Structure 1
Amino acid sequence: MYGRMKLIWILCAALISIATLLQADALPKSALEPYVTPPMSIGDQLTEDGVWELLNSGGAVAGYVFETQNMAPLPGFSGAPINMLVVLDLDGRFLDVRLLSHNEPIFVSGLGEAPFHAFFEQYRGLSISDSLVVGTPYGGASDGSALIYLDGVTKATASIRIAHESLLAATLKVAREKMQGVSAGPPAYPDPSIDETLTWDDLDGIAHRLQVTNAEVNQAFEGTKWQNDDPVATANPDDLYLDLWVIDIGPPSVARAVLDDNALDELQAFMAIADMDEPILVIDAGRHGLITDDFIRNTAPDLISAEQSGFPIALRDADILVGLSDDAPAALQDAPALILRTDRRLGFDPTTEWTIQIKALREHGVFQPEIGSTTFETTVQSPERFYIKPTAPKQRAPWEQAILDRSADLVVLGLFLAALVTGLGLNLNRLAGAKYFTAIRLTILAFVMGFIGWWGQGQLSIATPLAIIRTATSGGSFAFLLYDPFSLLIWAIAIFGFALWGRGLFCGWLCPFGAMQEFAHHLGRILWLPTWNPSSKWDDRLKWIKYGVLALLVVMAVSAPAHLDTAIEVEPFKTAVTTFFIREWYYVVYAAGLLILSMVTFKGFCRYVCPLGAVMAIGGLIRGREWIARRAECGSPCQLCRVKCNYDAIRKDGSIQYSECFQCLDCVTIHDDPTKCVPLILQAKKQARP
């Protein structure tokens, strides 16, 4: 009956945890940034679990920022994990720990959240290599060991311990995968096909035993104030103080040899749910024992710790009633026993040597006694024949994974770009002369705004050229360009277009924010708003502003990179395209104001302010041909194309100023239309005369 009720409880807890985890998504970068104190900032995302780079004021990697719920979702009392934000430097030192979310009843409706938040403030300045313990020695005295005590919260000890274990488990996972420079790889797990009939006599090399006599304990405390505080040890120096057995019972063959039927059934029910946990049986047949009176079931043991490859192993009580098989030594049948568990996903490999430590405590004094401790340890390693250790799959290069992740988008984008370039390159005049050219153009711009902009996030930005400049001056790698293949393909086509059309291919056909401005202009005409354009003289002057903005940003990229992200906000692209206008109000007002301006002044931002447009204009200097046909009469006497050009990109003499041409094709439409082009009309009239 007990085993059945325990199984039902485990199943319920697991279902609650799974339901909670399915709803838990890693927070976006924008939600984490307020928790990182300047001059530090958050850089690129490193893993799908939500590990981010921590950057210093100079833009160099200084550590890691991550949430705990996706890497160590230990369930709290509500069944949901406690989610914390951890800021860790490259040496494994906690720069900050913040509580993000939880459902712990004691803090929701009892004590309030203030004590919970205060608890996490204690981690600042501590290291993952420190032995961190939740609790306080008797009388507030240090026990002389390497332990560092964190003050708990009265009435909430269990919730605090769960939060502490989750925090350490998640941090250790990041440390193993990032700070050692290698991933922990797939964990070894018990091979279900191995079915050996074993007895206790067959456990040589499987069971590990540590024996410590009373004399050895006295020797460990010799020279301290606690050396005479164990009269039993002094009276019986040859008796065993500690007779510790450690057995990895993950392999079914070992578990059957060690446990009785009831404990085995309970373990199997537990492992059916917690299939990534490795169960460790510990028994003490000496006088030491395994736990203190303060121990709480289903939490980390207060006297036992472990480490592997220099990192602590997060051990936790599995809360399973232990019964040993009939052929177990008689001395062990009634000895204290625990089944501990650790998550293999956090890097623990049972087939690799690891160390288990157990503390011995002594009290000195009667009132508020001072606690002293010493630690004994033994190494443990499970036979490889019981385990399967998968070969880590060969990881793709980041750029290969990026292409794979966006393969469908890249196919659609590639087809669109191929069709656009073909249409403009081979049938440009035919396209411009189409009956429904305006509708065709607006359809293309709508696709650019929707698919390339909002869906594909392919809005090019001045940030990329500036990053190239910074990388070139600092001697870094240009590999970052490969991480966004969608935008890189657009860059490639835009640069290709420089030789054929100048800046016009991107600025006129592929810029999502440019498309928004063009739609805003058409809306202004529908609303019968007046148009306002500066005189030709002022238009020429205003067009130089974008080059000044570009020059300023280039200088900042080299001399003041810490302020560059703010300066780049001169582009409204992040607000209008990346965040869908969901940002701070002043960014939204700025971007919306530029669109409103476009309703009366055609694409005013593109023409006068856009630093990316300045880059495109400079790049267009490699243009190798005059692709817009002109006639001798263009400019003198005919000025129609110049008057109709919304960009004011046609000079008085009729020639095209390609650095300001956005390839809208309006002048091409006029040039080829015998009903609009004045020279063609006059020529037709002459031919019609008798």
Structure 2
Amino acid sequence: MHLLVSALFLLFSALVAKADRLTPDQIATYVKPPHLLGEPVGDKGVYTLVDVYGAEAGFIFETEPIAPLPGFSGAPINMIVMLDREGNFIDVELVEQNEPIFVSGLGVAPFEGFLEQYQGLNIATPMVVGTPYGNTGADGSSLTYLDGVTKATASVRIAHESILAATLAVARDRMQGLATSPPAQPDPDYREDLDWEALVNQGLASHHIVSNAETQEAFAGTLWEDDDPEAQAAPQEAYIDLWIVDLGPPSIARAVLSDQTLEELNDFLTLSPHDEPILLIETARHGLVGEDFVRNTAPDWISAEQGGLPVALRDADLYVELRPDLPEGSAMILRADRRLGFNPAQEWQLSLQVRREHGSFRPVVGTQDFTVSHRTPDRFFVTPDALEPLSPWREALRNRQTDVIALGLGLALLLPVLLWRQSWLAGLRHFTPVRLGLLAVTLGFIGWWGQGQLSIVTPLATLRTALDGGSLAFLLYDPFSLLLWMVTILGFVLWGRGLFCGWLCPFGAMQEFAHHLGRMLRLPRLILPRAWDRRLKSLKYVILAGLVATVFLAPDHLDSAAEVEPFKTAITTFFLREWYFSAYAALWLLLGMTTFKGFCRYVCPLGALMAIGGLLRLRRWIPRRVECGSPCQLCRVRCNYRAIKPTGEIEYDECFQCLDCVTIHDSTETCVPLVLARRQTWRRDSAA
């Protein structure tokens, strides 16, 4: 026996093992030009991306090995993420997923469309799936909202969290210096009287000189060491004489620019409020740009970085006119985008490239970079408070809060009535219309609108996740369904399957409507012999056992096996699926017009699970009399579910809490014992 158990354990472990990582050749198929696949880094399946020159350009990685968050199938969603060195998403592609709604319901196209939204976004930007709330702030503090997928928002939230968790893990390990908080921005309300002398004395205008001798030293021993006679002739003269001024703070810009240029700069910042303008003045012979420079592009001789990461600089394409007391030379205003992580209140480095050419025909070009630093004091800036995204479950709750509140209020009214006033409810003169009205709310609001059709997939996914030692946090991503599950579990203890199957199941409500439609159309009723009825009721337990076995033996096929439930077709997608799925769901509804709730009674695996609660319930909630079953059989004969034994006892594992028997039991017009008792009283009164 011990050997058998060990063998079964090993078999189970092998079958539910995580999927193998992609090979380098498989990873390479996801790489988009002009990038190429580089070398692996670390042991988590992270690879570098390189450009056509072999320089590192970013990273590519799978999300599952780094952040294996389980989805609603119990298995993680695996995606490929391409990230550049600045933390921008190049692309996000789906590798593998088993989310029930995407496997065969909506299809995978909406999921892939959702992932396309990441292209161009930066991981330093707070991102959430949903709709805006509250004050979104400005600049780096604003949230980016990703459109979810209707009917599958919970699944894409899990995918989103997987992407962020994996990407931030890679960024922390491989991209030191990546901005993760909003950068400082100029304080528009700060005022300080400044002139050029004050700017220089306080270091607000930083001055950097590189002599001819220093450039000669940089090229010493190279092919180009003798290609600048002027530097050799006057080694002490300045080759680079550079001034750097951050024009973002208004007080500094007013002290530097002419009135006309200041007005043009303000107009520019109105249109581009995320840009930080940087003034460069070069008074020596190096200059700022080459002859082939094109305005409004990145300067060819100038680059910058901050915190070990490059800063993208572009020409602001502004005519620069300075105040009279400023140095004369080449001047231009560059712009750095704060949304991409540039923080003007922190030190940053600017590099000027010095070029020399050797030879007159097709000369060979040599370059050396000279790097200087600049920082503007904090007093000129304000750092906005980061608008932190809500936690995933709170964000999901916020997006469904109206639905959840409405559902909560409805359940708060229904449960006390069923618990303490069921006889009052069953005794209403128009009880059947009232019940059908409540079932219409279940079908329309809980089912089609709220997408709250509970499924056997969730308990099976929970089982699989628990066996894998994973987190059950995925349940929080759909608060509407979670509230239904909580109430259903309560009902499981108090009523068995009655509460959910009889009142809260949208497809069950649809089947009941099909039954009433069949009666209106005067279709013949197909009533099985009791022996066959009992045998078929056992079928749902066999199906449930098969699905549980699938979790252990073939978990990858669980989603296909769970299609025995027509819920996804009839409720989630409203029959907008492949014809065979729609035909299967429609077949049960057509059959329900002649056989009362055949799917619910004979096939439903979730109903089988709920039926266990009928055996474990804490109380007998259907009133009975000693005459029930002997001699009275009226309730048993009229029970559409055949959930009453010949002895009059209720089979709670098959009872759907329709309350028809309660209506009969409490009625002096229909309950045989009460009718007989009333007649005896009438006779006694007549005899007296």
Is TM > 0.5 for Structure 1 vs Structure 2? yes
Equivalent residue for 2:434?
A: 440
How far the C-alpha of 1:329 sits from its partner, in A, is: 0.9
Equivalent residue for 2:35?
A: none
Equivalent residue for 1:275?
A: 273
Letter in 2 for 1:202: A
Letter in 1 for 2:375: Q
Write the distance in 2 (CA, Å) between the matches of 1:662 and 1:39. 54
Equivalent residue for 1:573?
A: 567
For 1:658, what is the secondary structure of its paired residue?
coil
Q: Quickly say closer, same or farther: Cα 1:511–1:218, change in 2 above 3 A.
A: farther
- Pick one of 183, 187, 190 that aligns with 2:186: 190
Matching of residue 509 in structure 1 with residue 507 in structure 2: no
Q: Are the counterparts in 2 of residues 307 and 355 from structure 1 also a CA contact under 8 Å?
A: yes
Equivalent residue for 1:337?
A: 332
Equivalent residue for 1:316?
A: 314
How far the C-alpha of 1:444 sits from its partner, in A, is: 0.9
How far the C-alpha of 1:253 sits from its partner, in A, is: 0.7
TM-score for both structures, normalised by structure 1: 0.69
Q: Are the counterparts in 2 of residues 432 and 668 from structure 1 also a CA contact under 8 Å?
A: yes
> Deviations for 1:271-294, whole angstroms, at most 9, x for unmatched residues?
123223222223433444444555
Write the distance in 2 (CA, Å) between the matches of 1:393 and 1:667. 57
Q: Are the counterparts in 2 of residues 500 and 625 from structure 1 also a CA contact under 8 Å?
A: yes
When the two chains are superposed, the root-mean-square deviation of aligned CA atoms in Å is 4.2
Matching of residue 346 in structure 1 with residue 340 in structure 2: yes
How far the C-alpha of 1:593 sits from its partner, in A, is: 3.8
Q: Quickly say closer, same or farther: Cα 1:240–1:67, change in 2 above 3 A.
A: closer
Q: Are the counterparts in 2 of residues 177 and 183 from structure 1 also a CA contact under 8 Å?
A: no
Equivalent residue for 2:283?
A: 285
Percent identity reads 54
Q: Quickly say closer, same or farther: Cα 1:602–1:365, change in 2 above 3 A.
A: farther
Matching of residue 615 in structure 1 with residue 613 in structure 2: no
> Deviations for 1:40-93, whole angstroms, at most 9, x for unmatched residues?
9xxxxxxxxxxxx9546984576676999xx99xxxxxxxxxx9854599xxxx
Q: Quickly say closer, same or farther: Cα 1:261–1:476, change in 2 above 3 A.
A: same
Q: Quickly say closer, same or farther: Cα 1:220–1:37, change in 2 above 3 A.
A: closer
Q: Quickly say closer, same or farther: Cα 1:554–1:187, change in 2 above 3 A.
A: farther
Matching of residue 657 in structure 1 with residue 651 in structure 2: yes
Name which of structure 1's ranges 660-669 and 436-445 shifts more when overlaid on structure 2.
660-669
Equivalent residue for 2:195?
A: 199
Q: Quickly say closer, same or farther: Cα 1:573–1:253, change in 2 above 3 A.
A: farther
For 1:324, what is the secondary structure of its paired residue?
coil
Q: Are the counterparts in 2 of residues 318 and 341 from structure 1 also a CA contact under 8 Å?
A: no
Q: Are the counterparts in 1 of residues 318 and 332 from structure 2 also a CA contact under 8 Å?
A: no
Write the distance in 1 (CA, Å) between the matches of 2:254 and 2:364. 43
Q: Give unmatched runs, 5+ long, in structure 1.
A: 1-35, 41-52, 73-82, 90-97, 102-116, 118-122, 129-170
Write the distance in 2 (CA, Å) between the matches of 1:435 and 1:306. 81
Q: Quickly say closer, same or farther: Cα 1:253–1:649, change in 2 above 3 A.
A: same
Equivalent residue for 1:477?
A: 471
Q: Are the counterparts in 2 of residues 84 and 100 from structure 1 also a CA contact under 8 Å?
A: no
Matching of residue 260 in structure 1 with residue 254 in structure 2: no
Letter in 1 for 2:335: L
> Deviations for 1:236-272, whole angstroms, at most 9, x for unmatched residues?
5554444443322111011112222222111101212
Query: Matched residue pairs, number?
Result: 554
Q: Quickly say closer, same or farther: Cα 1:172–1:416, change in 2 above 3 A.
A: closer
Residues 155-234 of structure 1 correspond to what in structure 2 (within 5 A)?
A: 179-180=171-172, 184-203=180-199, 204-220=202-218
Write the distance in 2 (CA, Å) between the matches of 1:317 and 1:439. 73
Write the distance in 1 (CA, Å) between the matches of 2:255 and 2:602. 81
How far the C-alpha of 1:642 sits from its partner, in A, is: 3.0
Residues 38-57 of structure 1 correspond to what in structure 2 (within 5 A)?
A: 54-55=63-64
Equivalent residue for 1:245?
A: 243
Equivalent residue for 1:20?
A: none
Equivalent residue for 1:328?
A: 326
Equivalent residue for 2:138?
A: none
Matching of residue 466 in structure 1 with residue 460 in structure 2: yes
> Deviations for 1:452-480, whole angstroms, at most 9, x for unmatched residues?
22333333233332343233223333344
Asked which structure has the greater RCO (Cα within 8 Å, sep 6+), the reply is: 2
How far the C-alpha of 1:582 sits from its partner, in A, is: 4.0
Equivalent residue for 1:539?
A: 533
Write the distance in 2 (CA, Å) between the matches of 1:175 and 1:190. 30
Q: Quickly say closer, same or farther: Cα 1:594–1:306, change in 2 above 3 A.
A: farther
Write the distance in 2 (CA, Å) between the matches of 1:609 and 1:560. 21
Equivalent residue for 1:520?
A: 514
- Pick one of 459, 480, 483 that aligns with 1:486: 480
Name which of structure 1's ranges 245-254 and 534-543 shifts more when overlaid on structure 2.
534-543
For 2:333, what is the secondary structure of its paired residue?
strand
Write the distance in 1 (CA, Å) between the matches of 2:357 and 2:547. 67
Matching of residue 634 in structure 1 with residue 628 in structure 2: yes
Write the distance in 1 (CA, Å) between the matches of 2:331 and 2:352. 14
How far the C-alpha of 1:563 sits from its partner, in A, is: 4.4
Write the distance in 1 (CA, Å) between the matches of 2:504 and 2:624. 26
Letter in 2 for 1:542: L
Write the distance in 2 (CA, Å) between the matches of 1:290 and 1:449. 70
Matching of residue 597 in structure 1 with residue 591 in structure 2: yes
Q: Give unmatched runs, 5+ long, in structure 2.
A: 1-25, 31-61, 96-110, 124-162
Q: Are the counterparts in 1 of residues 613 and 653 from structure 2 also a CA contact under 8 Å?
A: no
Letter in 2 for 1:189: Q
Q: Are the counterparts in 1 of residues 644 and 650 from structure 2 also a CA contact under 8 Å?
A: yes
Write the distance in 1 (CA, Å) between the matches of 2:208 and 2:539. 78
Q: Are the counterparts in 2 of residues 84 and 99 from structure 1 also a CA contact under 8 Å?
A: no
Equivalent residue for 1:19?
A: none
Write the distance in 2 (CA, Å) between the matches of 1:285 and 1:177. 45
- Pick one of 357, 370, 374 that aligns with 1:376: 370
Write the distance in 1 (CA, Å) between the matches of 2:410 and 2:351. 64
TM-score for both structures, normalised by structure 2: 0.69
Write the distance in 2 (CA, Å) between the matches of 1:659 and 1:614. 8
